[in-house]
Structure 1
Amino acid sequence: MAYIERAISSILKKRASESKCLLLTGARQVGKSTLLKHQFADYNRVSFDDKMTRMQAKEEPKLFFLNNPRPLFIDEVQKENSILEDVKLLIDESEERGQFIFSGSQKLELMKGMSESLAGRVSVMELSGLSLREIKGVHFNKHFVPTDEYLKEREKELADYDDIWEIIHKGSYPELYDVDRDWQDYYSSYVDTYLERDINELIAADSITFFKFLTAVAARTGEILNYANIASDVGVSEPTIKNWISILERTGIVFLLQPYSSSALSRAIKTPKIYFRDTGLACYLTRWLTADALKNSAVTGNMFETFVVSEILKTYSNEGIDYRFSIFYYRGKDKTSSRENEIDLVIEENGVLYPVEIKMTGNPKAIMGGANAVLDKIPDKKRGLGVVLCLTDKKMYLRENLVALPISYI
């Protein structure tokens, strides 16, 4: 099986050398264990997927650490995070860096254990599925923000994405690019083996109800989250759906994009939008079985938007940056009319707000940035260059402060 070089690698090694311990989170099968084994081959390694190993770590931690000396990589650490108290004692005895590396697929459970036991001692990073840059061998590794500096740097290493619908449909799990694996077989196994097994430890539901829930959420990727709507489809209570959505977010299956909040935008919607982190999984759950069928379907716009949002998030996490405080969306009504304005993404950086529209068109128009002026109402913030990310084949200015970009610029 060929190893695909991951963009996060150099930053991961740097963080490990600077911190006493490092935590790499991410959904199942995005390549955490493979990455860490390649980059830290000199580390001893154990996995808490193994029950006997977990039992020893829980009941005889001193013996566990004698059998598994530092530097140590513990995979799926959330399955027995009581060990973190003992880790704290060990790392406090030494100033040595890079003593422990942890990985796991249940982000907030891990963070809870880390915040209670290892506050200030652990560096946290996130690994997503393969990015377009990784799939195409592009080495540029800066997060997407449409400044002049970013655009000039990005233009030095652009790649053609002429098979974009094949990639959107295929998804981003590394195994699909490592070996010639049947698409339906892979995702069927993924749902059965990983999602039902791992998430059913957290969700008390029979497999049919759970699959209905996954399908109902996948069918709404790219939409404003409506718990009541999903609850009606699945046949469970709204509080149950809220809990289950939270679990999907914690395990890296979905992302909740928060609305931009400002007192100046008093009529803005306060509800998040929901996106699947992997478009291949969303296609499988909603039964779009070929790239051609997807491309010509009624969901192409939402799936394209889901893909672009996911790619932008990857540019942040692969650079070791927390995107949660930088990327939002806006939807609201203008006080002077009943018209609703929407901006697909609002990227905030250094006091500047960059409006981004995501359009599945090869013929972008200036009107697509018509809502951007609403950001001028926000005090103490400047509006930066607006962007229309679309299927155009070249960069094209639509107005002085609005540019259409091919998605190769992400």
Structure 2
Amino acid sequence: MSYIKRNLEKVVSQVTKEYPVILVTGPRQVGKTTMLQKLMEGTDRGYVTLDDLNERTLAKSDPELFLQLHKPPILIDEVQYAPELFAYIKMNVDKNHEPGAFWLTGSQVFKLMRGVRESLAGRVAVLSLTAVSQAEMVGGEMEPFTVEREALTARKTDRVEMDTRGIFERIYKGSMPAIVSGTNSNSQIFYSSYLSTYVERDVKELSDAIDSLKFLRFITAAAARCGQMVNVAEIARDAEINQTQAKDWLGILETLGIIFYLHPYSNNLLKRLVKTPKLYFYDTGLVCYLTKWSSAETLESGAMNGAILENYVVAEIRKTYLNCGKEPYMYYYRDKDAKEIDLVLEHDGVLNPIEIKKTSNPGTELIKVFGLLDRSSTPRSKGAIVCMKPGFGAIDRENYIVPIWMI
């Protein structure tokens, strides 16, 4: 298996010199351990995983002895299984003040964060690793996606141009390292195994009372609504569970790093806005598996092509921030008249409106909705249509046309 160089490596190397504890979170199988073990090569850093039940038992029952046996510098894998370690890691850090002493990984983001906040506040750098991004697939340099002409022009030089079929092939296969590297050639077999081996097991760790078949129906119902405003009642009905369960299970999917939400943009000068978030999956390959598309060709011409394409673009833009160690400020706009802007980026005191379309020939009518943001107290800056056009262009001086392969 060829190693895929990850953009987050640079960030890990940097914060290792500054923080005593580095915590890399992210869903199963996205390459957290592989990346950190690659960075460990040639160093004296040790490694232990709490997937090993003997090590996990010791870490939970006698965390002090565990850390005596596994002295820093150390990489502790799947640390969420023993939150008892956090207090002892804190004591070690406060005593020794050694940068980069502890590298931790974990697959249960929010459960982990609570333990970190309580024990390691100010001592830990928390980073998120996602599935492989477009830039990482082609070995390109990654910067957070912004709607600035210079930055977009620079992106053209280290990306690989793709046509519509190529992009839908990428969407269909997904972006898990095992698929991208060619270790697993059949994405459908991979995702079937992924669900039964990892997701089901981790879900049961978080909630004993989950029925596997009901949970599969539930996650399928959620996938069928990717890129849409969350409708808990509809998801619950399709999964044959109650709404409280559906809310709880959505929380579990978010905790495991499988889904994320885009919240509506709000501002005290903008009235009559909706308040419901939109639901997205980090990996479109999982969505395609759950919603039973048989090939990239059928997906491209199918009823869900627009929703899954939007999911892909939003997730890829989000990855460009997370994989640089930065928090993305991403929203969508929708008012009570159902006027909508697919994506609003907020940074450096301005708003960038973005529309996502399957078209390869976008027209001026698509940018009319951008004016809805002019009533906001935060000024609107450049806008973009992210679409299937093969090359970078512009509709006018204020609005660019960005090919999806350039994200």
Tell me if both proteins adopt one fold, taking TM over 0.5 as the criterion.
yes
SS in 2 for 1:224: coil
Q: Report the alpha carbon displacement of residue 58 of structure 1 after superposing the two structures with TM.
A: 1.9
1:299 and 2:301 correspond: no
In 2, Cα distance between equivalents of 1:177 and 1:353: 33
Q: Which moved more, 1:12-21 or 1:119-128?
A: 12-21
Q: Report the alpha carbon displacement of residue 217 of structure 1 after superposing the two structures with TM.
A: 0.3
Residues 273-321 of structure 1: per-residue CA shift (max 9 Å, x gap): 0001100000001101211111111000001001001100110011110
SS in 1 for 2:96: coil
1:142 and 2:143 correspond: yes
Give the partner amino acid of 2:335. G
Q: Of the candidates 234, 253, 258, which is equivalent to residue 229 of structure 1? A: 234
For 1:336, the equivalent position in structure 2 comes to: none
Q: Report the alpha carbon displacement of residue 157 of structure 1 after superposing the two structures with TM.
A: 2.6
TM-score (norm 1): 0.95
Q: Report the alpha carbon displacement of residue 180 of structure 1 after superposing the two structures with TM.
A: 4.3
For 1:374, the equivalent position in structure 2 comes to: 372
Give the partner amino acid of 1:266. K
For 1:322, the equivalent position in structure 2 comes to: 327
SS in 2 for 1:120: coil
CA contact (8 A) 2:167 2:405 kept: no
1:109-128 equivalences in 2 (<5 Å): 109-128=111-130
SS in 1 for 2:206: coil
Structure 1 unaligned residues grouped into runs of 5+: 334-338
Q: Report the alpha carbon displacement of residue 396 of structure 1 after superposing the two structures with TM.
A: 2.3
Q: Of the candidates 154, 162, 173, which is equivalent to residue 170 of structure 1? A: 173
Q: Report the alpha carbon displacement of residue 403 of structure 1 after superposing the two structures with TM.
A: 1.5
Does the C-alpha gap of structure 1 residues 250 and 376 become closer, same or farther in structure 2, counting only changes over 3 Å? same
Give the partner amino acid of 1:151. L
In 1, Cα distance between equivalents of 2:279 and 2:365: 26
Residues 76-118 of structure 1: per-residue CA shift (max 9 Å, x gap): 0001111100000000001210000100110001100000000
Q: Report the alpha carbon displacement of residue 258 of structure 1 after superposing the two structures with TM.
A: 0.7
For 2:190, the equivalent position in structure 1 comes to: 186
CA contact (8 A) 1:346 1:355 kept: yes
Q: Of the candidates 209, 216, 222, which is equivalent to residue 221 of structure 2? A: 216
Count of equivalent residues: 401
In 2, Cα distance between equivalents of 1:317 and 1:183: 24
SS in 1 for 2:276: coil
Give the partner amino acid of 1:247. I
Q: Which moved more, 1:391-400 or 1:217-226?
A: 391-400
CA contact (8 A) 2:138 2:159 kept: no
Structure 2 unaligned residues grouped into runs of 5+: none
Give the partner amino acid of 1:7. N
SS in 2 for 1:309: helix
1:263 and 2:260 correspond: no
1:3-402 equivalences in 2 (<5 Å): 3-41=3-41, 42=43, 43-138=45-140, 140-162=141-163, 163-178=166-181, 179-203=183-207, 204-323=209-328, 326-333=329-336, 339-379=337-377, 381-402=378-399
SS in 1 for 2:17: helix
Give the partner amino acid of 2:5. E
Q: Report the alpha carbon displacement of residue 239 of structure 1 after superposing the two structures with TM.
A: 1.6
Give the partner amino acid of 2:107. S
Q: Report the alpha carbon displacement of residue 382 of structure 1 after superposing the two structures with TM.
A: 1.3
Residues 370-402 of structure 1: per-residue CA shift (max 9 Å, x gap): 1111111012x2111110000001222213321
Q: Which moved more, 1:285-294 or 1:140-149?
A: 140-149
SS in 2 for 1:74: strand
Q: Which moved more, 1:5-14 or 1:208-217?
A: 5-14
Q: Which moved more, 1:352-361 or 1:129-138?
A: 129-138
CA contact (8 A) 1:366 1:402 kept: no
CA contact (8 A) 2:63 2:84 kept: no
In 2, Cα distance between equivalents of 1:158 and 1:56: 47
CA contact (8 A) 2:108 2:257 kept: yes
CA contact (8 A) 2:133 2:316 kept: yes
Among the aligned pairs, what percent are the same residue? Answer: 41
Give the partner amino acid of 1:292. E
Q: Report the alpha carbon displacement of residue 341 of structure 1 after superposing the two structures with TM.
A: 1.2
TM-score (norm 2): 0.96
CA contact (8 A) 1:252 1:277 kept: yes
Q: Which moved more, 1:269-278 or 1:158-167?
A: 158-167
